[in-house]
Structure 1
């Protein structure tokens, strides 16, 4: 048998061109596996990457119109519709009742193929057009160039809509009615495809999907996104079995509820999707999505789902960012923290700023230090505990210290006072209506007595001891042993600004401006005077000198700046 087959093949190859033509006519092509597209039924098609899938169909003799709907999934595809019409009538021997032999009839017969429609993208698209001659076969070609994907195709014959797909309104957009800190309210134009007839529940409904990534063009892409998210969660669960809280936070990125959706994962993932009561809303076209995270961007999609036909259409989605979490009116003041507070004389800010301080240790004592940075600014400081006011006083340009004791926590309220005797709020430049205040609270200071201030913060220089390269300074100290640091900076001779901002900390000044630091203590306050000789200066130059009283607790005390010019000739 095998030998006779080989002899016949050899005779066909060497018998000449005429025999080859008889075996394989020029209009004969290798046929692909024939897949027929049925009418009024959703046909799922798997598209391998880079391969073209073909679906064939013919129309009834009385059909004058046709429509073909193709619904891609998560990636863009290319699809086209072509028609091949026979010039001559098919031979009578053709078995018209057998659809398996019909493609061979069209390819063996004389005819021409015309491409009538082409589309590239990832949105649901429909071609509608007149029917060709009865002796025609239609070819639907589908191709995915990015990755393997799924596609659904639907054929409808005759005029009017098919009824299998829901219809979108003239305005197919999702609108945002309101945005809150943890909720967003959406609405959309109702679809004529959703209506209650004879009191029966419709088989079509609106379904809302919320996620953190992007909007989806169709329901299949949304399913694919959820499937990948579930797989990602399962991988994380396998890597770390103790990460249940992380997985729960990730699963909250998705929430919806659709019947018969994700059947393969229904038992394991149903409880992981949050039920907000605002998904698949039947005929309601208003939805409030709640339980969202503050200050987070979300994407919202609305689908019309046909549960009977298994079809759906998507509105044009929207996105919104929830509002930031409301900040507490009371700010926590940490131990030893230097807090810069900006106060305003504006009417909206006259109610004051509030801070909460909790001392460390069982003694429940602390020291509150305040210092305004503007010479004419005043602030009212009120300290209370458990609703009872402990102290209330005004703080001006002098550094103020308030002793805190006898309470586990202290509520500190700062209220800007309008400068001058007038009760009106200053107008004009907004910057002039604001001033800065430095504040620090420390529970390390445990003495009952308040820290001692110098009797004056003036710095004195001695003209007789002034030379071309040095000057001598003197200032008042205290009976407590404290550290004093001297700073200098050279300024132009014609400079009008010779003082240093009293709110500038020593740590914020350049290191080359510091001259030296010294300890000093004198038990007699009347004799608590210390001096310092500052050398290595340039002749005839103008210098600004600053002295800081550095303490273990509270803010450093800055003396008033002193401007001195060295001698030009010595």
Structure 2
């Protein structure tokens, strides 16, 4: 540290010494007097011990904080400084005081403003100096003479804020969780849209697992060296320059206006601009995580921070980066206009099918009929998703575009079970192959009309004259789940045994409010459970199956 710094420091101590020198001193020790007067007159510049202090810095304006250390102190002291959004410059200087020679007035000290008495004090010494944006810690050795320590902080880029933590109780522990011996983040799996990460757990987390949380920052710019800087990155993308809160991310949900997804204690905050996306994810105490929904062929930077939920202190692992793979060229099956295709999906092997359809007219109608299991249907054009929905029953989607435009249709299983769906794309909307169907496909039973050997049901019809076929099946109560899960809703009446057929009839009504029909099924066994199905059969032979109804006849009549 050069002479200029020492001169600046001496001037600072000079002005501090003025009120001290005006006091009438008795048999009070030098260190006690310094602490007393500094606390009385200059409490605003004393750095508090045992707590994290947020300090705001103006550009090119040096800010100074002081703390005294008593004579014959046996304690080490520790100072941790965390820059937030920009690099800073900071230093620690120590000013040692010597007593008057041979103990003539050893329990007194002279005012710092006294030119003669200043010769009795040792010169200032520079203990530490750092410039950058890393979290830095300095541990000082015990002092055998009374000392005054000066901390100087300077930001030359812009206004910013930092956090400073001072403690002399190193035996108790620290505000910050401990990092493992190898704090690197490893990339275990790399795909075109996801990256899997793993890191060694924090030793602090092994001791107090329920009070430790890991937070991940994902961005396309660079790595961040503190959770404070990570928080600022998230806020800056959203246009907020709010100063960092000491609370961990999981406790700042209400203050963050992002896209949040909560699942199993996991918090995912996503901020987007036109050119960059920043994600902040807190995952509890797990030390493995897969970041999904990434853009192919893009370099991402990954940072992991371990947070002590009791103290709100955090420590940063060594950040890493990875580039996602190129998206594989999709293999499309062509979907012909008007043709119905049935897709069978295996939850373990074939989880999705992709089709390409070229429209013949401006208006196109896509039809999905869920046959079995849970299926999600998606329609995309030029890479943009136009439709994405879980299909239950029959679903028509009409889209308007340009002639000869290409659409991509994706059908995927939502669970690891076998599922099936029928898909059709047609530009001849006025000639649908699927029959028109009512708003509700529910079958209703009338409890008051239920007897020991008969049941009465009702269902909605349409304004078009259509054929409705009614079927029944007796089952045991312990077979209900198996029977319902194996239902193929796309199989028509032709797949049913003749013994299960009740009747078929044509029905329609111009007034939709009166388009209701009823049917009484007789000849049933008392106290028995039946599955009731209604099929709406269209003119080309394609049908719509109503939702299966379970009804039990009475045991006593």
Q: TM-score range by the shorter chain?
A: 0.3 to 0.5
What TM-score do you get using the length of structure 1 for normalisation? 0.44
Give the structure with higher Rg (CA): 1
What TM-score do you get using the length of structure 2 for normalisation? 0.45
